[in-house]
Structure 1
Amino acid sequence: MNTMLKRVRIPLALLSLTALAAACGGSDGGSGSVSDEVTVWMYPVIGDPEANAEYWEGLEKAYEKEYPDASLTIEQQPWDNRDEKLATAFSGGKGPDVVVLQPDQIPQYLANGALAPVDGAIKDYADKFLPAALDALSDDGKAYGAPIYHTITTTLYNKKLLDRAGIEEPPATWADIEAAAPRLKAEGLATLDYSASNEATLNLNFYPLLWQAGGKIFSEDGESVAFNDDKGVAALTFLTDLYEQGAIPKTAMTNVNVVADQALGKQQAAMGFTNSGIDFGVAEEAWGKENVIVGAPLTGEKQAAFGVPGALGINAQGNIAGAEQFITFMTRPEQIESLGKAAGFLSPRTDVTVPSDSPYVEKLQDALSVVVPGESSPIARQLMGILAPEIQAAMTGKKSPQEALDAAAGQADDLLARQR
């Protein structure tokens, strides 16, 4: 996506996707010492703007108290155009010392030589991170991101609507959804809300279904795409059949990963399948807390859920020593816990649990066991723009699922070939 959700952020929420970043200290190609200035670009990861500013101001003071010779400046940055701004900075040799990365960003920056490994910063506790989180941030045996939080998505159900259709158990599998669809339709309701807008991230619509079908976005060697095989066709056919039946609302075509003011939030669809704590809060306000059910990730051929580690990476042209020191500080248990409490993040460390009074946190924590943090590729971001309109074409009957996926695969393989 831009993988950022266009949703209202509230402190209660367990965020789906966010980023932090740091901007340039020195231009000495990595020769800086820990006494040099480290400048951090920070994004509004805490819902309340005042609380967000207060948190990072406090952290800045705590860091400089512990490291009196260091100078840390945390600058607040907007989400808009963050990738473009960062790419421009890197290409101009003035990129940030430390940058928050999601897994799908790492290949494109590695290809440009913009990142340095973070292994030195986390060497004392690399084995304490969730294996899937660190694996997703690694390349050729080296870690290029140090996790500071983890996100997860799972199912969200409206109990009132299920009750109206006489459905006692929330649909937990694809087969359950197909069985529930006629009963909900008889009540004038859609079954599954979906975000098929070209601007919506596929990480929160098609990709989780692809993984649940047992499929993959890319081939094992990364030289070609794999989403147009029989697994991908099964996932897209599941969608097209539901849409044709009216089990997915027509508003899906313009939904950009939003719950409020869309079919799910307006109680016109009974469930969503890639929802986060942000959405749970929206649902509580719209439906009443007694009607909110949070379940396990959906199961097709297998069970899978999307979630990502948010991680700090190091600019290869920046103050590497200072960046490592800051990353070591930020990945300690006390920082993981404090950031998690302030913003609603899950912990990326196996030895740290973020305290929460949310009634849904146990479900979210359990979902981490089947998390898929995306699939990394230099074309991961461009691919979404290629694939999204083809999925729309299939859902609206303009192409068959196989035709749509083959068309996207042809364009994507051409892009991959140009990377070699």
Structure 2
Amino acid sequence: MKTGFKRAAAPLALFTLAALLAGCGGDSDSGSKKVTVWMYPVIADPKASSAYWAQIEADFEKAAPGTSLTIEQQPWENRDQKIATAFGGGKGPDVVLLTPDQIPQFSASGAISPVDGALKASVGKFLPAALDAMKQKGKIYGAPIYQTITTTVYNKKLLTAAGVATPPGTWDEIKAAAPKLKKNGVALLDYSASNEASLNLNFYPLLWQAGGSVFAEDGKKAAFNSPEGVEALTFLADLYKAGSVPRSSMTNTNLLADQALGKQQAAMGFSVVLADAELAAKTWGPENVVVGAPLRGPAKEVAFGIPGALSVNAKSGNAAGAEKFLAFMTEPEQVKSLGRASGYFSPRTDVTVPNASPYAKQYQAALADVSPGEPNPAARQLMGLLAPEIQAALAGKKSPKEALDSAAKAADDLLARQR
């Protein structure tokens, strides 16, 4: 069903888009054409989400006369299974919101189509990482409409009490500052080692900072047990052994309020989203929150962040209309309006989303060092194999090399089965 009401009139700018949108896809049928979209709660407040997408329906139909748009709100729960079932049955929506880790699976199976045509007028205006995350074999399979980013957040009160005047922004600075915090009974670096926590938000950034990668270049073997991977896990395990990564990390699931960082028992997080920085300001006091650049390792400075992108069902009955909608949603006005409504950032280099947060500029700057991860059809299954081995290394049951080698063997078997 439709998400809601329509406006009586659309902004003048939308009418100027009509000519552009009419050129997408080449569908000359003058009859009414339907486009159905599966959207997810990227706007946290349900009422605000419904109102926003209802407005998008109305605005798009004004800009693309003859096309009927229906945006269906879907829950995050069981998202992968529901999409796969719909695509597998030759059904599903014309357009669906996907993230980078879903692209390899659905593009390899032929469930989604390349969207290069919908982006031909704007392809050079996106963050390189945002488009790279959506590419498979040189083709773009998702049109980015928003971008997430994480970076470092520090508790100034805890650092100052320990005599640490400058927030540590490199691995070496963390090693130097950690004993000072320990003397005050506080951990320096919070971490999430639970099996339910995404490695994109904990171990993988450290791996990338060391110069390593999760997969070999061809994607057919694991590469995280490289010397760089061992260096990253050794760095983490040594901090844990010294008490500078809290013991509670073993059950942390990337939820700041429930973790040592949120409870002011650790002074630093290195994969923190803007919403959690703002939550910290409410609980610690804004004077105690410092947002820094992404953490720098031995090789580079990098933080995790992903685009959300619209993909087209390969079996859509109205591919031309679907492409028109992708072109519409990636225009600057829609990128700005979605960013304002969701709190996310722009995936375009020529568009900055206005944000009243006092930390927005630091997060915006961190986009220069963003990594979307390493999409692979087996990426999520591989995390399930690696996470317990990281726990084993932290607990001292295995050396970092033993843990990573064990996980790599299981990962290589998994990848071999999927060829």
Give the TM-score of the pair, scaled to structure 2: 0.91
Which residue, out of 297, 307, 310, partners 1:309? Answer: 307
SS in 2 for 1:227: coil
Counterpart mapping for 1:144-163 below 5 A: 144-163=141-160
Aligned counterparts, 1:230-245, within 5 A: 230-245=227-242
Which digits, 9 at most, give the CA deviation of each residue in 1:256-280, with x for residues without a partner? Answer: 1110021001100001000011111
Q: 1:307-346: per-residue Cα shift (whole Å, max 9, x none)? A: 1111111110113112101101101010001001111111
* Aligned residue type for 1:327: L
Measured after TM superposition, the shift of residue 116 of structure 1 is: 0.3
2:269 to 265, 269, 272: 272
Equivalent runs, 1:19-418 vs 2, <5 Å: 35-301=32-298, 302-318=300-316, 319-418=318-417
Unaligned runs of 5+ residues in structure 1 are 1-29
Amino acid at match of 2:272: N
Q: Describe the superposition over 1:176-209 as per-residue Cα deviations: whole angstroms up to 9, x where unpaired.
A: 1111111111111011110000000000000000
User: How many Å apart are 1:41 and its aligned residue?
Assistant: 1.7
Tell me the CA shift for residue 57 of structure 1: 1.1
Seen in structure 2, the aligned counterparts of structure 1 residues 412 and 32 have a Cα distance that, compared at 3 Å, is farther
Q: Matches of 1:240 and 1:32 in 2, distance apart?
A: 62
* Offset of residue 32 of structure 1: 11
**How far apart are 1:225 and its partner, in Å?**
1.0
Quote the RMSD (CA, aligned, Å). 1.5
Residues 43-66 of structure 1: per-residue CA shift (max 9 Å, x gap): 121122211111111111111222
Deviation at 1:114, TM superposition (A): 0.6
TM-score (norm 1): 0.91
Aligned residue pairs total 391
**CA distance in 2 between partners of 1:50 and 1:130 (Å):** 30
Equivalent residues of 2:39, 2:96 under 8 A apart: no
Farther off after superposition, 283-292 or 313-322: 313-322
Distance 1:391 1:247 in 2: 16
* Paired position in structure 1 for 2:14: none
- Of structures 1 and 2, the one scoring higher in RCO (CA 8 A, sep 6+) is 1
Q: 2:247 corresponds to which letter in structure 1?
A: K
Is the radius of gyration larger for structure 1 or structure 2?
A: 2
Aligned mates of 1:246, 1:110 — CA distance in 2: 44
Structure 2 CA distance for aligned equivalents of residues 33 and 365 of structure 1: 43
Structure 1, 265-274 or 100-109: larger mean CA deviation: 100-109
Native 8 Å contact 2:40 2:97 kept in 1: no
Q: d(CA) in 2 for partners of 1:320 and 1:245?
A: 57
Letter aligned with residue 215 of structure 2: F
Matched residue type, 2:110: G
Q: 1:181 to 1:33 in 2, by over 3 A?
A: farther
Contact 2:187 2:245 in 1 (8 A): yes
Structure 2 residue aligned with 1:13: none
Task: Indicate if the aligned counterparts of 1:387 and 1:405 stay in contact, CA closer than 8 A.
Answer: yes
Percent identity for Structure 1 against Structure 2: 66
| Paired residue type of 1:261 | D
SS of 1:147's equivalent?
A: strand
Q: Is the 8 A contact 2:38 2:97 kept in 1?
A: no
**Alignment deviations for residues 109-129 of structure 1 (CA, whole Å, 9 cap, x no partner):** 122111100011111111111
Q: Supply the distance in 1 between the matched residues of 2:185 and 2:78 (Cα, whole angstroms).
A: 40
Large movers: runs of 4+ above 6 Å: 30-34
Structure 2, unaligned stretches of length 5 or more?
Answer: 1-25
Question: CA–CA distance in 1 between the matches of 2:402 and 2:86?
Answer: 40
- Letter of the 1:366 partner, please give it: A
